[in-house]
Structure 1
Amino acid sequence: MGPTPAPAVTALLETSTTVRLRPQFEGNNISYAIGFKQINYLAETAVLNHFRTAGLPVGQLYQRFGLGFDVVDIHSRLGALLAVDDEAEAVVTPVTKDGENRFGFKVDLFVERDGQRLKCAGSTVRVLLRVDSHITAQEPLPAGLARFTAERLGSGERLETAAVAQPYGGFSDGRGTTGPDPVLTELVGEENAFGWRYRIPYFYCHFNERMQMSGFLRVMEEVEDLFLADRGLAIKEVLDTRGWIPVVTQSRIELLDESLMEEELYTVYTVEDIFKNLLYTCRMDCYVLRDGVLVKTATGTITHGYLHEIRPNVWEMATLDEPVVTALTTPRKASA
């Protein structure tokens, strides 16, 4: 057995913490409800507070030990509405198993409804501490922390590609394209999928170089928006004509490798399942092209349905009718 972990590391691994948080107003897109991305942000914020409470805030991890904090896996289930004015109670429970080299935490979000404590979401968050080459550590690591550090995040699957990437068209063309693009065409193939190529902006990144989990949550949200528009289900049009708005019941993203600032991110969004004409699940796979080889850097899934407003501020699940199911299951023909 190794040395006894330092008290701060023991606290990370063994002690639960609770913090009260409010969602950001940015996430209040429809009516008074908060969207899935901001709920994931709350889970991340609760874990950041857990590190702070243990005595290892992320700023000090970087400055003292040369370690970057990275959420490398986040899996959330949404059970009840989180409202814009809610103050959520976030309970963080360590779930790291012996021998695991990533911190694991269960994060449960609770709100008050009519005098009762109601669970609105539950997440599993995994964290890795990435050794940073930009700075020199000022102190040795606390005992027990080295197990959760890595020289890089993962080693994603490498795929040989016959496609020749098109050069970036210039800023006047915008940040991304849905095609025609030879690499996207190859990745999408004959699948019921949608492709999007996007230049990673610096404000989706952290620690000077790589895209962080919140950036991938933004990509997941945006690729869904683009996918629906591509299938003739643009969100505003559907909201205006049917009174329907997408709702998320669960999501997961796992980082497999590093995606670097200003690289081209190739995102493939594949419809995997439609459940009882109520919910549909899509898989998101992200790649970058390095030295002529595609590197898979992230993967995830998200499950959507639609809510419709039966009376002002009262929403219920909608049944997917035949035109919507047809749109979800019929890929648009793309040209290379």
Structure 2
Amino acid sequence: MVTSLLSTDDLTQARALLEATGLQFETPYDDMVGIFEAGRLVAVGARQGRTLKMLAVAPSHQGGTLLDEVVTELVGRGYQEGVDSFFVFTSPALAPNFETLNFHLLAASGKTALLEYGDGLKRYLARFTRLVRPGNNGAIVANCNPFTLGHRYLVEQAAAAVDQLFLFVVREERSLFPFGARMRMVQDGTADLANVTVVDTSWYAISSITFPTYFLKDGDPGGAIQMELDLTLFAQRIAPHFYVKTRFVGSEPLCGTTAAYNEAMHRILPPLGIEVREIERKNADQQPISASRVRDMLLRGELEGIAELVPVSTLDFLLSSEGIKIWDKGGAR
């Protein structure tokens, strides 16, 4: 029987079992379950958001159904909490073990593989099939927090070089502006560009699943592995569906994490059939236009110069009552 692990003794046993199988006890987590036999924990697993982790079975009990039981319980509980997609990281050698449990391999790079429970990626791609036209297509993946004239310049340059440009807006909710607001600013700011199609990334590009340290900006040593997985997944599973031959990116003089991601694109994508074109960032007042610059000005209440950094449609949103409620934490000015 699969039960919740809550007591101090439960967690002590979980830590010991994980360490005995070469894993670490990782916090935080949203849910942790296990299976006991004669008072001894013989299987354990946990879920943090959409990620299943700390999955382990005692060596003496491997080869049976315990892992399946733990995964099924975690997935069932996750569904009850409103989670609709589940992911697991493991070594490529262990990926087949999870594939027997209805996981599908999304990408593998080096010593790490990313798998998804169910057919979420298939359903995500199917959402956009009717929007895709075969051809020499390109892609941009951007957070747009908010959408600036720098983003607009990159989109214009990219759109002029391809048949159809897909602008993937990061769906992850770890930004000042929520996804819905960012998506609207991008759609309004590119509405006049006939060959630009705006779509969301779901959980499959620059997300807390594929590239969590993007949102931390702290040089996490695991970032290099995550960049490789994120880009491999894009090249092998997403780009072919959209006929993407080129990925466009703006130069990055400000953020070390994003600069490293750009470098990883140049290294990883061309061998996988995706050309990378890096476009020099647009300047204003001899400084690069960036979303972080706009956010800093907003939070300082320096509104006069923002019109030089964002499209009219973005400025209208930023100065609307909805926009002000997002960025003005001290009360509307």
What TM-score, normalized by structure 1, do the two folds share?
Answer: 0.28
Which structure exhibits the higher relative contact order, with contacts defined as CA atoms closer than 8 Å and separated by 6 or more residues? 1
More strand by share: 1
Greater helix share, 1 or 2?
2
